Amino acid sequence: MIINGKDIFQERFVNTLLDHAEWISKADQLMDVARSLERKIKEMWEDWRKYESNKQETLQIDDRFLSTFFMLSSFAIENLLKAIFLKNNMLQIRKAVISSKKFPRVLKDHDLLILARKAKLADFAKKNEEYLRKLTRSAVWYGRYPVPISYTDVNVVFTSDVDKTVFTLSSYSNTDIEEVERLVKELRGFASA
């Protein structure tokens, strides 16, 4: 049997898309790049601390490193969640990909809270709702554009689905890096199990 180039590309596409290890590898690559921003983020927080103790000068916080760190981290976490989802739904996704020859709609979502629920990680989603929403915000617009896609998304106050507490999606702290690392580590554990 002679296989033409189209068949080879289709086979490679399907095999790579369905290989959850490829998704984990891409997450690792994204986190490597995100981690390269940590020094700049720590400098930003140090500048903020100096300002808070002095307050005689005006401080313009440069959050580009933090927003980009969150964007790249969000992409990494998205890949880990999709790896878990693929692992749990391999037959269904394989069938959909082979019949459509396209990237499945179910894997096009970028909302980390929804993806965590689809990956059957309801407790993880509940426990980490605030960070999953902040990270989604950075992936969808805050890390890439000067404004959101819709003016309604400028509102950064959010009410939790879980316990109805109100939190802001634009509130950041000097523990953000550690929190992101905790999320990644926990998801890598689920993905590797």
Contacts with 38 (C-beta within 8 Å, 6 or more apart), sequence order: 69, 177
Residue 59 is predicted with a pLDDT of 56
pLDDT in tens, 41-74: 988 888 877 777 666 565 566 678 888 999 999 9
pLDDT tens for each residue of 18-40: 999 999 999 999 999 999 999 99
Tens digits of per-residue pLDDT, 95-124? Answer: 989 888 888 888 989 999 999 999 999 999
Structure tokens at 112: 């980390």
Alpha carbons 13 and 180: distance in angstroms, whole number: 30
Rounded distance, CA 93 to CA 19, Å?
Answer: 11
pTM: 0.88
